Chain A
């Protein structure tokens, strides 16, 4: 497809990445107090990892390969390595011998802040794409 719309596709890659981040944030918020997760461990906070999407592309005019930027790429969803919280609650079924329960390392306030940032980033990408669409449409009005 056309290189003319490369800018729009770059914005769209930003939208996809932000959508993935929102998914992980929602998962973190929903599982903020899950003590029985994978392998019997409490839920571990997930983080979406992004990478700049550079690709080798065959340049049609010169016939050589050159790197072109294509926006952002989601590399994967990885676990947050920060330590789990220990909360004193002897009445909890999963409390250990001293009465402490290991809770997930999810901080709700951080997640809310991330959510706002992700929403704004999504809107910014949409605005960027609309701007490019308008520019193209205006170019079509040349001479009319």
Chain B
């Protein structure tokens, strides 16, 4: 049994942790600025998913789409993305209301 081998290997973990911390601190500085952009991007993606689902459905009815599972999956993905977006919105509103309730 070579216990010392483990001790030598933990140096790798230390290196990794240091790199992670450096990355996180640099992200934190940018985080407040890009939250709105991230939100807008993700909402656009949700909208794109809806459009894609509608487009595939239309193609399916017209007879241009051969795979019915693609249509079903795209509809499901669109539905789940929208549900997730709605839940996130609810959470944001709750956080805002909680924030308002705080007494100075």
Q: In the complex they form, do A and B come into direct contact, defined as C-beta atoms under 8 angstroms apart?
A: yes
Interface flags, B68-101, vs A, CB<8A=1, else 0: 1100110110010000000000000000000000
Decide if B64 touches A1 in the complex (CB within 8 Å).
Answer: no
Chain B residues, Cβ within 8 Å of A1 = 63
Are B72 and A139 within 8 A (Cβ)? yes
Q: Quick one: given A1-B63, A60-B64, A61-B64, are A139 and B69 in contact (CB under 8 Å)?
A: yes
B72 touches A142 (CB 8 A): yes
Residues of A in contact (CB 8 Å), total 12
Q: How far is the CA of A1 from the CA of B76 in the complex (A)?
A: 25
Contact partner of B76 among A2, A136, A143, CB < 8 A? A143
B66 contacts chain A at the CB level, 8 A cutoff: yes
* Interface residues of B, dominant DSSP: helix
**Within the assembled complex, what's the spacing in Å between the Cα atoms of A61 and B65?**
10
Residue of B nearest to A143 (CB): B76
- Beta-carbon nearest neighbor of A3 in chain B: B66
Cβ-closest chain B residue relative to A137: B68
Q: Are B69 and A142 in contact (CB under 8 A)?
A: yes
* Assembly CA distance A3 to B61 (angstroms): 10
Is residue A140 contacting chain B, with contact meaning CB distance below 8 A?
A: yes
Residue of chain B at shortest CB distance from A60:
B64
Contacts known (A4-B68, A136-B68); A143 close to B63, Cβ less than 8 A: no
Contact with A along B14-25 (1 / 0, CB 8 A): 000000000000
Given A139-B72, A142-B72, A142-B73, residue A4 in contact with residue B66 (CB < 8 A):
yes
Determine the residue in chain B with the shortest Cβ distance to A136.
B68
Bound-state Cα–Cα, A139 to B72, Å: 7
Contacts of B60 in A (CB 8 A): 4
Does B79 lie within 8 Å of A143, measured CB to CB? yes
Q: Report whether A139 and B63 are in contact in the complex, using a CB–CB cutoff of 8 Å.
A: no
Chain B residues packing against A (C-beta within 8 Å): 60, 63-69, 72-73, 75-76, 79
A-B contact pairs, 26 of them (CB 8 A): A1-B63, A2-B63, A3-B63, A3-B66, A4-B60, A4-B63, A4-B65, A4-B66, A4-B67, A4-B68, A6-B66, A60-B63, A60-B64, A61-B64, A136-B68, A139-B69, A140-B68, A140-B72, A142-B69, A142-B72, A142-B73, A142-B76, A143-B72, A143-B73, A143-B75, A143-B79
**Residues on A close to B: CB < 8 A?**
1-4, 6, 60-61, 136, 139-140, 142-143
